[in-house]
Amino acid sequence: MNANIQIIAKEGWFGAIVWAIIFLISAYLDLGFITFVMLLGLAFWLYMFRNPERIADVDSTSFAAPIDGVVKNIDILEDSVCVEIQTRCYDIGVIRAPMDILSANLQCKNGLNLYFSNNDKKHMLNASFSLSWQERNDIYRIDFFPQLLDTSRIYATSNLAVGDRCGYMKIGFTKIYLPKTFNIKVSVGDKVYGYESIIGYNQ
């Protein structure tokens, strides 16, 4: 597991500093209600970018949730099962390795960060990135579709133990493609937590 643990994800550091400076200035100027609003803004920002440590018991046949969110859709495809997770602003955005990964391939697509648009336009114009790897004869892929914020990225792709922090996406959708041999343990509407929730087991 990663030993580099931070209470606040580094993607939120700059915003936290800005909120703190504005709060201190308003407090120094004794702006009353504005100071209170700035304090609330700082507290909400810190909550949004919280980065808790998690401990879970995941066996070698399990595929853990890579990120926090809500299961929005489960599709049975021709050669895989696709589980779609929506991550909202108040969900933890840390991306964690869902299983032990020796080496993965990262593909990135440059684009916008549209939020208030229809899904077709967002899928066509928004930035996205994909992580894929092979374990034995099975191929795994996770597609990330960030929205609104540009702090989303993968920063580690190899020698990952299950649960290791390997990226960040605050607001967006995640599509997980698993082999059809997997027994899916989640349902549409379920709340999942990165590393703690099990998406499925390889039969």
Asked if the model's pLDDT at residue 5 lies above 60, the reply is: no
Query: In Å, what is the CA distance from 89 to each residue of 1, 6, 56, 125, 194?
Result: 26, 19, 24, 21, 15
Residue 137's identity, in one-letter code, is: N
Percent of the chain with pLDDT over 90: 70
Q: Is residue 53 part of a domain?
A: no
Q: What is the pLDDT of residues 8-50, one digit of tens each?
A: 888 889 999 999 999 999 999 999 999 999 999 999 999 999 9
For the whole model, what pTM was predicted?
0.87
Q: How confident is the model at residue 117 (pLDDT cuts 50, 70, 90)?
A: low
Task: Mark whether 32 and 129 lie in a shared domain.
Answer: no
Q: Is residue 56 part of a domain?
A: no
Task: Mark whether 99 and 153 lie in a shared domain.
Answer: yes
Q: What is the pLDDT of residues 149-159, one digit of tens each?
A: 677 899 999 99
Q: Is residue 3 part of a domain?
A: no
Q: Is residue 130 part of a domain?
A: yes
Q: What is the pLDDT of residues 170-196, one digit of tens each?
A: 899 999 999 999 999 999 999 999 999
Task: Mark whether 38 and 117 lie in a shared domain.
Answer: no
Q: How confident is the model at residue 120 (pLDDT cuts 50, 70, 90)?
A: low
Q: What is the DSSP letter of 53?
A: -
Residue 84's nearest CA partner among 123, 135, 50 is 123
Task: Mark whether 87 and 43 lie in a shared domain.
Answer: no
Backbone angles phi, psi at 34, to 5 degrees: -60, -40
Task: Mark whether 42 and 92 lie in a shared domain.
Answer: no
Decide if 98 contacts 61 (C-beta within 8 A).
Answer: no
Map residue 159 onto helix, strand or coil.
Answer: strand
Residue 66's nearest CA partner among 201, 180, 195 is 195
Asked if the model's pLDDT at residue 1 lies above 50, the reply is: no
Task: Mark whether 19 and 72 lie in a shared domain.
Answer: no
Task: Mark whether 36 and 94 lie in a shared domain.
Answer: no
- Mean pLDDT within 59-77: 94
Q: How many domains does the structure of the chain reveal?
A: 2
Map residue 102 onto helix, strand or coil.
Answer: strand
Measured CA to CA, the distance from residue 17 to residue 37 in angstroms comes to 16
Residue 148's nearest CA partner among 173, 129, 124 is 173
Structural domain of residue 126, as residue ranges?
62-202
* 70-89 core/surface letters (b: 16 or more CB in 10 A; e: else): ebeebeeeeebbebbbbbee
User: At 88, which CATH number?
Assistant: 2.70.70
Q: Is residue 55 part of a domain?
A: no
Task: Mark whether 36 and 74 lie in a shared domain.
Answer: no
How buried is 6 (Cβ within 10 angstroms: 0-12 exposed, 13-18 middle, 19+ buried)? middle
